[in-house]
Amino acid sequence: MKEMFNRLSVGGVLERAAELVPDKIGVIEEAQSLTYRELNDMANSFASSLSGLGFRKGDRVAIYMKNSVELMVSFYALQKLGVIVTWVNPLYRKAEAQFILKNSGSKGVIIFEEWEGYNYLNAVMALKPSLPDLEAVICVGKEKSNFVYSLNELLEHGHRTDVTFPAIDPKEDLAMLIYTSGTTGKPKGAMITHYGACRGAFQYSKGVLATSEDVFIAVLPMSHSYGCGAILIQPLLLKSRLVLMEKFEVEKAFQLIEKEKVTLQLAAPVHYILELNHPRRKKYDLSSLRAGLIAGQIAPEGLITQVEKEMGVYLTSFWGASEVGPGLGIICPYPSPLEIRENYIGKPIEDTRAKVADPATHEEVPDGEIGELAVSGWHVMKGYWNNPEETSKQIIDGWLYMGDLVSR
């Protein structure tokens, strides 16, 4: 399997699924379901129109959207063109979005006009004078006007034109920029290759033994490193089925798990805590849900045991970061004993290394002592976008230092 990643681009993930299982339902959103062939055709159509607008390999285009079919189509269309996706969290407002759009030099941005009471179109148009590289806004449902293009119209127009997709070097060409949260200063754009994205996304399957027979539910935002790898790429890589949620709502998740026979829920600890404590949980048939992953925050002691006991779900945690995005670095391989999963984050993923180092000297500390986690291998980012100074602080002699304190 790992040899495949030497030649697989992110856009090729969808193309491969469409070739191997064209008539299989790949994604379900509300009353809409799409086969892999239909999803791939939509991505090809949109890519054709984007090419007609002048977007080329190496350009940056921001996706500033909620979870949706439109996000998936946009993502895979851009990947087919070799355009570098710049992720912008849909919860970000003008100041946060402005920094990422400007720092990345994004040539375009794809949005919904409005969601959850926030008008993204008005916000982006207000930012336009401060964004010299921004040439086009593509908006779902909006009619074309000066500088603003309708995603729906571009999808329709693309059916009537053809485009030749550029060659992608998976290990060298960038697939995306994943910006850090900026808790220790301004956000930094981690540069992720196609190889890192595809092989990284596949590593999630090692923690839950995911296969083509599984049904995933998207409770995570796809704009996040974890959500991008685990939900936007992994199910398509495995030729599985994905059930979309635009945002997490506990009872809505229960309804979808019951209706669609969801088998895997990759989430944060808070999602499982809310589900465990929901007063109507036992009214739903959640028996199809067999396994899950948690990350993004430290899991409360005993949560994994409680989820397994009360929900019958095999649960494990892992360690990841934007800098090894959209994959992960350390995970407990399936199956691992409950005691191990409760007390350890796991082992380094295949063909990578990890060490526990003295923060001052970067030398390994003895087993049992606390030190800084460092990882090395194919999963590490190429660096921070246009920021060699910060890159040199994080990557030293081939080791990525993240400041997380652990013990072996």
Report helix, strand and coil shares of the chain as percent, to nearest 5.
35, 25, 40
Band of the pLDDT at 153, cuts 50, 70, 90? very high
Quick: pLDDT tens for 53-67: 999 999 999 999 999
Using the predicted structure, report yes or no on whether residue 307 has a pLDDT greater than 70. yes
Q: What was the pLDDT predicted at 127?
A: 98
**pLDDT of 183 strictly over 70:** no
> Between the CA atoms of 15, 18, 20 and 25, what dihedral angle is there, to the nearest 10 degrees?
140
Judge whether 237 and 36 are in contact, CB under 8 Å.
no
Residue in this structure with the two tokens 């355009």, named with its chain if needed: 83
pLDDT at 8: 99
- Give the pLDDT mean for 322-334: 97
**Averaged over 132-151, what is the pLDDT?**
94
pLDDT score for 181: 77
Whether the Cβ atoms of residue 406 and residue 365 lie closer than 8 Å to each other: no
pLDDT band at 5 (very low <50, low <70, confident <90, very high): very high
Mean pLDDT of 178-196: 90
Residue 210: predicted pLDDT? 99
Instruction: Report CA Rg, the chain.
Output: 21
- Of 149-158, 223-232, 261-270, 349-358, the one with minimum mean pLDDT is 149-158
What phi, psi does 353 have (nearest 5°)? -130, 155
Tell me, what's the pLDDT at 184? Answer: 63
* Residue 2: per-residue pLDDT: 87
Alpha carbon 2 to chain centroid distance?
A: 20
Cis, bond preceding 326 (omega within 30 deg of 0)? yes
Q: pLDDT band at residue 145, thresholds of 50, 70 and 90?
A: confident
| Distance in angstroms (rounded) separating the CA atoms of residues 231 and 265 | 10
The model's confidence at residue 143, banded by pLDDT at 50, 70 and 90, is confident
Tokens representing residue 27 in the block: 């994604």
State the angle between helix axes of 10-20 and 36-52 in degrees (0 to 180), rounded to the nearest 10.
140
404 closest CA partner among 363, 368, 357, 360: 357
pLDDT score of 195 more than 80: yes
Is the pLDDT reported for residue 214 higher than 80? yes
For the residues 234-238, what does the mean pLDDT come to?
99
Report the number of secondary-structure helices (H) and strands (E) in the chain.
Answer: 14, 22
DSSP secondary structure letters along 342-405: HH---EEPTTEEEEEE-TTT-PBPPTTS-EEEEEEETTS-S-BTT-HHHHHHHEETTEEEEEEE
CA 138, CA 319: separation in Å to the nearest integer?
Answer: 35
pTM (two decimals):
0.98
DSSP assignment of 239-289 equals: T-EEEE-SS--HHHHHHHHHHHT--EEEE-HHHHHHHHT-TTGGGS--TT-
**367: Cβ–Cβ under 8 A, 6 or more apart, which residues?**
407, 408
Helices (H), 105-150: 120-127
Cis bond before residue 335 (omega within 30° of 0): yes
pLDDT band at 182 (very low <50, low <70, confident <90, very high): low
- Helices 10-20, 194-208: axis angle to 10 degrees equals 60
Residue 326 gets the label, from left (phi > 0), alpha (psi -120 to 50) or beta, of: alpha
Give the mean pLDDT of the chain.
97
Query: Per-residue pLDDT for 337 more than 90?
Result: yes
Q: Which domains does the chain have, with CATH numbers?
A: 2-21+34-178 (3.40.50.980)
* Per-position b or e across 110-148, b if 16+ CB within 10 A of its CB: bbbeebeeeebbebbeebeeebeebbbbbbbebeeeeeb
- Look at residue 232 and tell me whether its pLDDT is greater than 70: yes
CA distance linking residue 65 with residue 224, whole number of Å: 11
CA–CA dist 115, 90 (Å, integer): 9
Q: Specify burial of residue 93 (Cβ count, 10 A radius: 0-12, 13-18, 19+).
A: exposed
Residue 54 backbone zone (phi > 0: left; psi -120 to 50: alpha; other: beta): left
Asked whether residue 172 carries a pLDDT value surpassing 90, the answer given is: yes
